[in-house]
Structure 1
Amino acid sequence: MSSESAARLHPKVVLALVCLIAALIGLNFTVIKFALERTTPLLLAGMRTVAGGTALLTFALARGQRLPTKLGDYGRIFVVSFSITTVSSALLVLGIERVPAGVASLVSSTMPLFTALLSFALLGARVNRLGAVGLIVGFAGTAVLASPSLSGDAAATGIGMLVLSAVAWAFGTVFMRWKDFGGISPIMIVGVQLYMSAAILIPLALVTEGTADTTWSWKLLLPVLYAGIPANAVTFALMAFVTQRASPTQAAASAYLIPVFGVVFAWLIRDEVLGLTEFVGGLLVIAGVYVVVTANTRRHA
């Protein structure tokens, strides 16, 4: 169903859904922190792809959707899978292991900034003056977050991993706009790509990390299920629903709400408090993402 033919949602419903999406993803940074107390990063990344992929494929098949039949489709899905749910997902978990959950959510929220840059480089998409200002502000915030005040090699490495995770996610997003996916439903695409990622991440984790540092219990199972289903499968399905039935500006609002919820949940659950540097850097990142996203969506509204 196209966005033109789908029934528009009431603005209050859109706001509620966008806030729900942002809250589910924002909470995920804190949940992953708890999971990492009981397992290793790559194994966690692999397990969450299995959980999310199973949920999405089950949902898609139950709705009568079919798996792709063309080899070329699987090749294009693999590129997206490798960039977003393999490389980006692995770097995300590795980064979260090294920095506070709230800071991780702020750095990860730079993805729309890299999407704008890659859209310009690969698709020739124009960046208007307002968008350019947003990019400058957002990357200035990233520089502040990555400044030495975070202290420690582990934190610096974590910030670097989270930035690279955002770049990889942005590339996969731009690639999906760049290439033709032959009318395959977004939910089916993500379900297949998650299983492709699991086929890489889990064997890699078993070889490089093993399972000696993993404690198998419900305290690990619950975070894995949350990271894979509510924070991944459910939010993706909700975003697809909102995108079809709301304006681009409304649908994109979650991009700058996610780090807000990420910081709030990290404070409420793990007593994490942002320092002045993180606070200033985070505000700049959110402001930059807001300007870039709204400048872009106005152009396509």
Structure 2
Amino acid sequence: MNAVQLLQLISLAAIWGSSFMFMRFAVPQLGPVWLLELRLVAASLILLLISSLLRRPLNVRKYWRHYLILGVFNTALPFWAFAYAAQSLPASMLAILNSTAPLWGLLIGFIWRGKPITRRAILGLFLGMAGVASLVGLGGFAVQPEALWAVVFTASAAICYGIASSYAEYAEKVETYANAHGSLWAATLLILPFMPFAPMPEVWPPAAVAAALVLGILCTGVAYLLYFHLIATVGAPSALTVGYLIPLWGVMWGWLFLDEAVGLHTLLGAGLVLSGTMLVTNFRPTRILRAVFQPSKS
């Protein structure tokens, strides 16, 4: 990984970390469903434009069931859960809880596929759950019913990511870009029937609409393209290290632009969640150094 690729990795983490800030800002004004659909439409149209220019077809007739499953578990449900939770939880907490997805993926793989769990991974699970408990309990959310439900929804989003990753591991292999593009359109169509039942905003504040469009165009469409570019140039293991940087950016954006407090519970919870995730994924910080200093594949 050279200096340019390292900058791309950091930029991707910063972009994905900012998504929680934009959700937290826009959802009180637009509501979770309308925010979600604006985000999905903007992202889908951007990838459709790119696909047309690059001539990368989706083969919908062949893979529509595959796209539908990914659209439900990797896009529609988790995006909606995060949008709902953003009504009550700070952006920093959303970013940290998002990083528990590998923990849930481990449990789902064990229950669904019978994949073995090592002692190291079990320790990681306990650390991750202790981190969540620290965020909820020490942060004062345990006594707030609405916030507690928001934590449950955020955890369900991470569980959905775990289901999607377990499914994708054994599903028919489809190009990663097509997976992203197809699942976005599937999610967009899945949310449409719920639109008439969602309260429409009485006013459409330009700043909130702009935040929703940034969520779709930058934090989803452009971020996907950058992520797949990194996979192609530095390999999947190095590109996946972005997951360990996202909570750091999520906390920082919330502190800088939303005046969110970064207390001891935030630092303790983040440390425990990230430590648990590293154990579960068998990740070692030295891999980042190797990825940075080893010669590029491109």
Normalised by the length of structure 2, the TM-score is: 0.88
CA distance in 1, matches of 2:238, 2:176: 19
Which amino acid is 2:47 matched to? L
Residue number among 230, 238, 256 corresponding to 1:268 in the alignment = 256
Deviations along 1:157-215, whole A, 9 cap, x unmatched? Answer: 1111100011012211221111104xx422222222212212222331331x231x352
In structure 2, the partner of 1:22 is 13
Q: State yes or no: 1:285 paired with 2:273.
A: yes
Gapped regions of structure 2 (runs ≥ 5): 292-298
CA distance in 2, matches of 1:214, 1:41: 14
Gapped regions of structure 1 (runs ≥ 5): 1-8
CA distance in 2, matches of 1:258, 1:217: 28
Which amino acid is 2:226 matched to? L
Q: Calculate percent identity across the aligned residue pairs.
A: 22
In structure 1, the partner of 2:56 is 65
What does 1:27-42 correspond to in 2, within 5 Å? 27-42=18-33
Superposed displacement of residue 16, structure 1: 1.4
Which amino acid is 1:155 matched to? A
CA distance in 2, matches of 1:124, 1:271: 44
Q: State yes or no: 1:220 paired with 2:208.
A: yes
The alignment covers a number of residue pairs equal to 285
Corresponding residue SS for 1:180: coil
Residue number among 225, 228, 248 corresponding to 1:240 in the alignment = 228
Deviations along 1:248-270, whole A, 9 cap, x unmatched? Answer: 44222111110110000000001
CA contact (8 A) 1:56 1:187 kept: no
Residue number among 196, 201, 210 corresponding to 2:199 in the alignment = 210
Query: For structure 1, which segment, 85-94 or 216-225, has the greater mean C-alpha deviation from structure 2 after superposition?
Result: 216-225
CA contact (8 A) 2:278 2:284 kept: no
Corresponding residue SS for 1:243: helix
CA distance in 1, matches of 2:177, 2:236: 19
> What value does the CA root-mean-square deviation take over the aligned residues?
2.3
Superposed displacement of residue 217, structure 1: 4.1
CA contact (8 A) 1:56 1:188 kept: no
CA distance in 2, matches of 1:144, 1:296: 24
In structure 1, the partner of 2:295 is none
Normalised by the length of structure 1, the TM-score is: 0.87
In structure 2, the partner of 1:180 is 172
CA distance in 2, matches of 1:292, 1:179: 22
Q: Give the 3 Å change call, closer, same or farther, for CA 294–238 of structure 1 in structure 2.
A: farther
In structure 2, the partner of 1:257 is 245
Q: Give the 3 Å change call, closer, same or farther, for CA 294–37 of structure 1 in structure 2.
A: same
CA distance in 2, matches of 1:219, 1:27: 15
CA contact (8 A) 1:43 1:202 kept: no
CA distance in 1, matches of 2:267, 2:248: 11
Residue number among 160, 164, 179 corresponding to 1:189 in the alignment = 179
Which amino acid is 1:168 matched to? C
Q: Give the 3 Å change call, closer, same or farther, for CA 229–188 of structure 1 in structure 2.
A: same
In structure 2, the partner of 1:99 is 89
Q: State yes or no: 1:113 paired with 2:103.
A: yes
